[in-house]
Amino acid sequence: MINRWRRPARIRVLAVTVRMRIIGDQNQNDNYLYLKFMQTHDAYRRRLLQAMAVLPWWSGRAAAAPDLTRIIALEWRPAELLIALGVMPIAIADVPNYRAWVQEPALAPTVRDVGLRNEPNMEAMQRLRPSLILLSDGFGPAPASITPIAPTLSFRFSNAAGLPLTVARQDVQSLADRLGVPGRAQLHLAAVDQQLDQTRQRLALLTKRPVLLFSFIDSRHIMVIGKRSLFQEVMDRVGVVNAWQGEINFWGSTVVGLEQLAQFGDVRAICFHRGAQDPLFDITGSALWQTLPFVRTGQLRIAPAAWFFGATLAAMRFCRQLEHALRSPA
């Protein structure tokens, strides 16, 4: 009889001990279910992760440098920050729209898609066993809903002064410190400064015509970039005046009707085109489009998509686009 029951008794003792340490006191039926969930039951797997998140030995993982090959970025700005440090995320949210609206930095073909930015697929993220998940403050899921899967790190878009580039520079350094690669941040930020200085020098002798920045939302509405935006801070650094002085939101942009652009006369306009999804070329023959002053005078330039709400790499890309648009003849 002793030999017959020896092994099951050990299993029962081990299951109850682990169960009490991780989840707390439960009844005997739950002990049995706990053994079952270890193999197949997703609901109990989530309960385990939630319980582990509050244990000191689990929370302490956040202090250690994460595995750089297993980082998820749910929002595109943190994805850019990560790539700026030479680290490709294992997954991001909404890959197709990233490739349409952001384009650069390009994603590796191996990057997985984990659903929508504001409603990611939790099970898909769990299966990837991430070492760290990057979020954006004010957009997407709350950190508390993500921490059962892995430690999180959140980034804000701007500060009270409306300086997104300044905040992005701080974010690059803080992320590099968290990843254990502080030297990479210093090299990258030096490259950012060099790009800004070069662009300012190259544009210094050009006519100081205000620049209007916009992108189509649909065939009748556009997004205009104004004060407190990432691109505004870049324009301030390189000595270019933004033609849009109207109302903007926290992100430094606003959506208006296409007819609002008729008020801009002596400006150079840059339209950011996001490829097949963009309606620009569907309306270029319309009467309204042809009456826009910058269209009639040949002052419109078409540029590839750039992420208005990005970080340092988006700022460097915008510098190059600005140079090309302003130095090209009318």
Q: pLDDT per residue over 113-125, tens digit each?
A: 999 998 999 999 9
Nearest to 188 by CA among 171, 170, 172: 172
Q: In this structure, is residue 51 part of a structural domain?
A: no
* pTM confidence score: 0.79
Lowest mean pLDDT among 48-62, 82-96, 117-131, 315-329: 48-62
Q: Does 15 share its domain with 87?
A: no
Q: Are residues 32 and 114 in the same domain?
A: no
> Quick one: 36 and 122 in the same domain?
no
The percent of residues above 70 in pLDDT, for the chain, comes to 81
Q: Is a pLDDT exceeding 90 seen at residue 10? A: no
Kindly state whether residue 58 falls inside one of the protein's structural domains.
Answer: no
The pLDDT value given to residue 63: 56
When pLDDT is cut at 50, 70 and 90, the band that residue 239 belongs to is very high
The pLDDT of residue 275 is 83
Q: Give pLDDT, residue 235.
A: 97
User: How, if at all, do strands 132-136 and 221-225 pair?
Assistant: unpaired
pLDDT band of residue 213 (cuts 50, 70, 90) is: very high
Residues 207, 146, single domain; the answer is no
End residue of a domain, out of 184, 216, 239: 184
Half-sphere exposure of 249 (CA within 13 A, CB side): 10
245 and 165 belong to one structural domain: no
User: For residue 64, what pLDDT band results from cuts at 50, 70 and 90?
Assistant: confident
Residue 19 has pLDDT above 50, yes or no: no
The percentage of residues in the chain with a pLDDT greater than 90, rounded to a whole number, is 72
**pLDDT for the residue 36:** 45
* Residue 56 maps to a domain: no
Structurally, the chain folds into a number of domains equal to 3
175 and 209 housed in the same domain: no
pLDDT category at 38 given cuts 50, 70, 90 is very low
- pLDDT, residue 208, reads 82
Q: Is residue 275 domain-shared with residue 211, that is, in the same domain?
A: yes
Q: Are residues 180 and 215 in the same domain?
A: no
pLDDT at 68 over 90: yes
Q: Is the pLDDT of residue 17 over 80?
A: no
In this structure, are residues 301 and 327 in contact, taking their beta carbons and an 8 Å threshold? no
Q: What confidence score (pLDDT) does residue 330 get? A: 63
The residue among 184, 219, 236 that closes a domain is 184
Taking residues 22-31, what's their average pLDDT?
Answer: 45
59 within a domain of the structure (yes/no): no
In a domain, 237, yes or no: yes
* 207/320 same-domain check: yes
| Mean pLDDT (whole number) for 23-31 | 46
Q: Is 190 a domain residue?
A: no
Edge-to-edge strands of the sheet including 152-155? 112-113, 91-92, 71-73, 132-136, 152-155
pLDDT in the model for residue 138: 79
| Higher-scoring residue by pLDDT: 115, 39 | 115
**Position 313 in a domain:** yes
How do 268-273 and 253-257 pair as beta strands? unpaired
Whether 319 and 210 share a structural domain:
yes
Same structural domain, 174 and 210: no
Query: Cα–Cα distance between 127 and 150 in angstroms, integer?
Result: 11
Across 7-11, 42-46, 206-210, 270-274, the highest mean pLDDT is recorded for 270-274
Residues 107, 39 within the same domain:
no
Decide which of 122, 157, 184 is a domain's last residue. Answer: 184
Using the predicted structure, report yes or no on whether residue 248 has a pLDDT greater than 70.
yes
The CATH number of the domain holding residue 128 is: 3.40.50.1980
* pLDDT value for 207: 73
pLDDT tens profile 134-169: 999 878 888 999 999 999 999 999 999 999 999 999
Domain that holds residue 127: 71-184
Query: Closest by alpha carbon to 85, among 105, 101, 113, 110?
Result: 105
pLDDT of 142:
87
